[in-house]
Amino acid sequence: MAGKSVAPGRGRKPKPNKQKLLSGSKHANNDAVEFDLINNVDAPEWLDELGVQMWNTVCPHLCKERVLAVTDLHNLEAFCSAYSTFRLAEQSVKELGITVEGATGGLVKNPALTAKNEALRQIATFGSMLGLDPAARGRLMGPNSGGGGNEFSEF
């Protein structure tokens, strides 16, 4: 791409202040605004069975780790809804195949594949915001303080 100007990427997402404090970061702001943490909350009534199953799987863990605040509920709702869409789309692909008959009679890509891909992107986005993937957990929680550290650190 010689000669072309490329806009820089957005870079790494910033670590929330609460997680900076938990990880012992020197960049933590002790005077930052903090929202109320949630101990437990029921899934919204509008979520279907698959979404509720995911809610009941993930919510207790987020509450236990003290990372779920009142202001995060919409992210958890979106994550569970996207998960449900992903599973329903996958079921459609399994039943109908990757191609289906189009309006003119020819084969076309099953629209459920597009829905599945969009849902997977949403799962990745909202899951990362909640710390539900390994990279996001490391970014949100900081390094383990379990004592099994680097055996060469004293050198």
Three-state SS for 3-19 is: CCCCCCCCCCCCCCHHH
The verdict on residue 147 lying in a domain is no
The verdict on residue 17 lying in a domain is no
Of the pLDDT bands very low, low, confident and very high (cuts 50, 70, 90), residue 87 is: very high
The verdict on residue 27 lying in a domain is no
Measured in whole angstroms, the distance separating CA 22 from the mean position of its chain's CA atoms is: 20
The verdict on residue 42 lying in a domain is yes
The verdict on residue 2 lying in a domain is no
Can you give the length of the chain in residues?
Answer: 155
pLDDT in tens, 22-68: 677 777 777 666 777 888 899 999 999 999 999 999 999 999 988 88
CA angle 24, 28, 32 (to 5 degrees): 135
122 versus 2: the higher-pLDDT residue is 122
The verdict on residue 154 lying in a domain is no
pLDDT for position 147: 47
pLDDT for position 50: 97
CA distances 49 to 26, 36, 152, Å, are 43, 28, 49
The verdict on residue 153 lying in a domain is no
Count of domains forming the chain: 1
**Residue-number span of the structural domain to which 82 is assigned:** 34-138
pLDDT in tens, 92-110: 999 999 999 999 999 999 9
Of the pLDDT bands very low, low, confident and very high (cuts 50, 70, 90), residue 145 is: very low
The verdict on residue 11 lying in a domain is no
Residue spans of alpha helices (H) in 24-108: 49-64, 73-96
